[in-house]
Chains A and B, each alone.
Chain A
Amino acid sequence: MIGGLFIYNHKGEVLISRVYRDDIGRNAVDAFRVNVIHARQQVRSPVTNIARTSFFHVKRSNIWLAAVTKQNVNAAMVFEFLYKMCDVMTAYFGKISEENIKNNFVLIYELLDEILDFGYPQNSETGALKTFITQQGIKSQTKEEQSQITSQVTGQIGWRREGIKYRRNELFLDVLESVNLLMSPQGQVLSAHVSGRVVMKSYLSGMPECKFGMNDKIVIDKQGKGGTTDDTGKSELGGSGKQSIAIDDCTFHQCVRLSKFDSERSISFIPPDGEYELMRYRTTKDIILPFRVIPLVREVGRTKLEVKVVIKSNFKPSLLAQKIEVRIPTPLNTSGVQVICMKGKAKYKASENAIVWKIKRMAGMKESQISAEIELLPTNDKKKWARPPISMNFEVPFAPSGLKVRYLKVFEPKLNYSDHDVIKWVRYIGRSGIYETRC
């Protein structure tokens, strides 16, 4: 299991060092600094073995988190734990920075003592931790409160405490998708997928039992056979009128009963209080690609490049895409750039070796164009320019996968409110993930 956990700043100075196992000595702290942080070359692997000791590291801004072990640990678990550790710290004191870590080092030690015991991760749900790691001592609690805390930390529903009360029962559902694309210069889709998340903010009283439904093809088809097609609402988004979508795979927050999903494909759970990620999913079929990028690069002699890029928006004209940014890479030996664009603003950024073209808003079924002349310095470098792909960023108010929330039912039999009393909000946001077109 995990033998120790160290946190370093960018210079390699230790900010936190907690050792859990006897086989990890102080020299491990230095070994990592010397061999990884101070190493000249780029990091070649997130797992490093130095003198039979394995180091797992992740970086958050310029802070290094390293877990150390001498055993054959579950590597996936160690990384998941490091991410979780980052989440917990962020939930307690915001951004992970040297300043914040130094300011909260006592708290961090307390957390590390609680969520890792002898190197075994323990309950690390922030909701539960915040009930008893408060930096204010716990002497004031009554006996009932104490046992409530312990039963929550160890219990079946470790993510929610009993006795939550709201005057207004309300919940917010955000369907956040990032659409990824790799397209060939000829416009052929090499790979495309949507990775989506359903994020829920719940402000519900008691221990509500929730059931979430979406236009999952498997569910709809099953119901279709049963003859109960009450779901006739036409899809109004994205222009494609499809009723259901094929989900390649999905994963759920630990509150969801997985065995029920496995057998009936129904998503039922008791939600944590506040914001959390209910599910993640991935689709690859029938994706609506909100933008199409058509590049044209021409090399004129050895010292000049002509670039023309057309972007076409491909969704309902009534919808607006926002924060559009097209990034056209330029060779390292660029000496000057002239740009003309129809819409928005374009600039050559020498430090980033790219032309960045920004458009604030763009409606569906429109087209825009940029052309640029790039002057090059003559070089004797034999190697040709690698032509990195043109990448794009945007945000659209629909789900490119076509996913629709059909319902989210809330039942709380013990308290006096019904599904109708809950105020529900649903929002769809589609963003670009890695959206690249080769040129």
Chain B
Amino acid sequence: MTDSKYFTTTKKGEIFELKAELNSDKKEKKKEAVKKVIASMTVGKDVSALFPDVVNCMQTDNLELKKLVYLYLMNYAKSQPDMAIMAVNTFVKDCEDPNPLIRALAVRTMGCIRVDKITEYLCEPLRKCLKDEDPYVRKTAAVCVAKLHDINAQLVEDQGFLDTLKDLISDSNPMVVANAVAALSEIAESHPNSNLLDLNPQTINKLLTALNECTEWGQIFILDCLANYTPRDDRESQSICERVTPRLSHANSAVVLSAVKVLMKFMEMLPKDLDYYGTLLKKLAPPLVTLLSAEPELQYVALRNINLIVQKRPEILKHEMKVFFVKYNDPIYVKLEKLDIMIRLASQANIAQVLAELKEYATEVDVDFVRKAVRAIGRCAIKVEQSAERCVSTLLDLIQTKVNYVVQEAIVVIKDIFRKYPNKYESVIATLCENLDSLDEPEARAAMIWIVGEYAERIDNADELLESFLEGFHDESTQVQLQLLTAIVKLFLKKPTETQELVQQVLSLATQDSDNPDLRDRGYIYWRLLSTDPVAAKEVVLAEKPLISEETDLIEPTLLEELICHIGTLASVYHKPPSAFVEGSRGVQHRRLPPRAGSVESAESPDVGQSGPSEAPPAVIPSQGDLLGDLLNLDLAPPTATVPSVQPSMQMGAMDLLGGGLDSLLGGDIGGSPSMGAGLGAAPTAMPAALGGAPPVGGGLGDLFDLGGGVGMPTGFYVVPKTLWLPAMKAKGLEISGTFARRGGIIQMDMSLTNKAMSVMTDFAIQFNRNSFGLAPAGPLQVLTPLSPNQTIDVSLPLSTSGPVMKMEPLNNLQVAVKNNIDVFYFSCQFPLSLLFVEDGKMERQVFLATWKDIPNDNEAQFQIKDIHLNSDAASNKLQGSNIFTIAKRTVEGQDMLYQSIKLTNSIWVLAEMRVQTGNPNYTLSIKCRAPEVCQFVYQCYEMVLKN
């Protein structure tokens, strides 16, 4: 075979010649011609002009020729949609072929032709192929559904292919299952809220069975899908882990990494004191190490992932330092990654070895690698205090080599070491000063200047040194200029007598001759400080600096959690969330680890874990457009109507504290702020489902119940445990969880604000959108102290019901905006209607009877409350705690009938009749109200109160 000749035809009349050959009678000649066409296509030549001639060759018995024609079709059909129709007949015929390979080929190719007219014809053959007797055809058809969905999602839904695809998960053939899972996962990604991949224990079991039997690729699809599931409890989590661990011995690294992902995620749910937890940790290390003997490209992927795993669970690999030692022949990308991990694993136990290695690396050839090695030595010094001295002396040795970039890098890290261990290693300053001239990089110059300024009192010729920098002040980079300005001011404050001239020189350079605003501002501030109050200047400029932290460049915890859920994928290689590099809606869904076992967080409803769509709560997060519109309305739309509606809520005490802040919160900021997109995200997160009747899981709930807060209430208002309202992911690190309570007639919104970012948060303020019952803050949000990283603060916000009213969908939806010094964030939550049940809701009997009759029967709604094991008296007592008052009780044939009344804050009366049959745990509830839309929510309150 010498097919390479097809690549060399570059004559002029080529297309014309090919045309003739394609229409030749001889089969061989035809085939030759098609091969030439494909070769030209590969090289990038446009051979679309031959479309009709190539399609004519389609009707053939020769499979090789047929495949070539199909290949051509896939490439050019889109540019010639009308002519592509010519091919339809052959496709449809081939889908009926007795040979399964040809049926599959036809359906596979047809799915790749993105022409609307063709896809219409695809539906019938596809439907047949999905139910084909041959597994090879079924597995191909399964993928074809995903293809079709990519072309026309609506068509796939209308034709019911999704259900057929779901059925294939129970197929007897493992490869069909795997492909169906892959197709469903992909389709589900573009419908984040759909219930498409209905993962429940039964389907999980099916997947785990198929996992043992299918191809290596199928195992990857299944494991990646499993990783989206959130087990109900630790026991389920453990049993899945047990069935996934054997995959760690698979020869395919991708199978191993995907298994690691599942285990890392599900491990979160296991209690730490469980024996199995320890076993699992031990099992994870060897396969991760083995990945490092794979080909270099895979090593790179593995190392990027290990970097994440080490940050999340350092204990897994803490004894494996040696395997990350760099080999001389490793590709540079492997070397750099290994170095990163070495620093993360460095500890007192292994620091001697690590340092010896790093010193070795600092003499290598690759500049980036050497720099990183030097920097790593500094990091070790900061991380492991015992080693600091050795690190410093190693760095001094390296400075002696006089290799320019080594010296510069060393000086930069030594600056950090000074910051970490003040007054300890200043003896080396003299050596550093010797190298002043060789520094040509801004970072190194700035570091050196900082050192001179900081220790000016110990360096005799500090003024000379700094003066030498001053000569070329305007040619320096901003970083160096700023540093130089500060250093000279420090020097002046320490040795005022000799340096007056110098400081004046630098101040005038910075303020008068510079056009950099930062530099000018800093210059002016120093100038005024010095001229008005030198003592204050001293306090400001020479203030004690906070120690720098040990671990730098750690990935932010929330991002880390998300990346752990993406182990093995590109996101884990880039260390960026998928939304940062994937276009469109795909993959933008944020993933979270399941709540940690045993921690208070477990009080969150499991659904917050995002991936368990089993109990999809009503989608109440408004789409970005909606909320944007709504909030803008408050301020911008018809001014006469909206301005007063904002006013009252602002007067509720928020005004004095926040003043203009709120204005900008609602007005200006919303306008063009890019943070809107970030805050709202394109992908709605599942909302807390606690209201929907899902009993919250986990222990420790008692702590959360604020029962003591009731003022003279018989049994107390039932408070739903706090649920996550605003995930940190969407709010630049601010996490808010909360609940509502009614205490002594006052409505309160209890929130826990957690700072998961790396910096301090201040200036909190809150505002509500208009809502169905006019809820509005009755005072400012009381967060008086700044919220430092990882700190949580609990606040109780009193609410009034005199705010502006607008009917929401659902009725109890509340849209909230929270502002801090970073940005404005939006979320929405639902409050239990019982919040609005007032204390004087007990109706007179007579009035009750009259009203009951008065309300039309159409307004009556009936509900079943299941599984209540209370007698009618206990129930009525319980309900009274939530201001649901029993007015009368009647017993008819062993059935207790309770008549009850409720009054809402907006003076709407709700009447109810509850039938309780002794021995039957199911109550029947009839609710009557003039505003029938509240019935559903009243029923929810009943259920919630009675079940807790």
Contact = CB atoms under 8 A, between A and B. Distances in A.
Instruction: Rank and list the top 7 A-B pairs by shortest CB-CB distance, nearest first.
Output: A249-B286, A102-B4, A150-B136, A76-B254, A262-B246, A258-B246, A77-B254
Contacts of B298: 76, 79-80, 83
A70 B295 contact: no
A109 interface: yes
Which of B62, B64, B136, B256 is most buried by chain A, counting CB atoms within 10 A of its CB?
B136
B101 A132 contact: yes
B293 A248 contact: no
B594 interface: no
Nearest to A151: B135
B257 interface: yes
Interface of A: 1, 13-17, 19-23, 26, 29, 42-47, 49, 52, 54, 56-58, 69-77, 79-83, 99, 102-106, 109-110, 113, 117-118, 120-125, 132, 135-139, 141, 143, 146-147, 149-151, 153-156, 158, 182, 184, 190-191, 193, 195, 248-254, 257-259, 261-262, 277, 279-280, 282, 382-384, 386-389, 391, 434, 436, 438
B581 A52 contact: yes
Contacts of B332: 42, 44
13 contacts: A57-B297, A58-B295, A72-B571, A72-B586, A79-B253, A82-B297, A102-B4, A105-B42, A110-B67, A118-B112, A280-B290, A282-B290, A436-B328
A76 B257 contact: yes
Contacts of A258: 212, 246-247, 249-250
Given A14-B44, A251-B250, A109 B323 contact: no
Contacts, number: 293
The secondary structure that dominates the A interface is mixed
Question: Which of B99, B137, B249, B401 counts the most A-chain CB atoms under 10 A from its CB?
Answer: B249
Nearest to A117: B143
Contacts of B246: 258-259, 261-262
Given A146-B100, A154-B136, A106 B38 contact: yes
A42 B333 CA distance: 10
Nearest to B98: A143
Contacts of B62: 137
Interface stretch (B175-183, B492-500, B851-859): B175-183
Given A106-B35, A254-B216, A58 B297 contact: yes
Contact of B221 (A120, A146, A149, A438): A120
B557 to A, nearest CB: 21
B290 A251 contact: yes
Contacts of B53: none
Contacts of B360: 438
Contacts of B301: 47, 75-76, 79
Contact of B325 (A75, A122, A191): A191
A214 to B, nearest CB: 15
Contacts of A147: 100, 134
B823 interface: no
A74 B258 contact: yes
Interface of B: 1-4, 6-7, 35, 38-39, 42-44, 61-64, 67-68, 70-71, 75, 98-101, 108, 111-112, 114, 134-137, 139-140, 143-144, 146-147, 150, 173-176, 179, 182, 186, 212-217, 220-221, 224, 243, 245-247, 249-254, 256-258, 286-287, 289-290, 293, 295-298, 300-302, 322-323, 325, 327-329, 331-333, 353, 356-357, 360, 363-365, 401-403, 566, 568-574, 578, 581-583, 586-587
A44 B368 CA distance: 10
Nearest to B363: A386
A196 to B, nearest CB: 10
Contact of B293 (A123, A146, A282, A388): A282
Nearest to B35: A106
B834 to A, nearest CB: 43
B690 to A, nearest CB: 31
Contacts of A29: 44
A186 B333 CA distance: 29
Contact of A253 (B175, B251, B571, B572): B251
A156 B247 CA distance: 16
Nearest to B366: A42
Contacts of A26: 44
Nearest to A13: B43
B143 A154 contact: no
B295 A156 contact: no
B582 A70 contact: yes
Nearest to B61: A139
Contacts of A103: 1-4
Given A118-B144, A384-B403, 15 more contacts: A47-B570, A71-B586, A72-B582, A74-B568, A102-B3, A122-B179, A123-B217, A139-B63, A147-B134, A149-B136, A151-B135, A251-B249, A258-B247, A382-B401, A383-B403
A102 B7 contact: yes
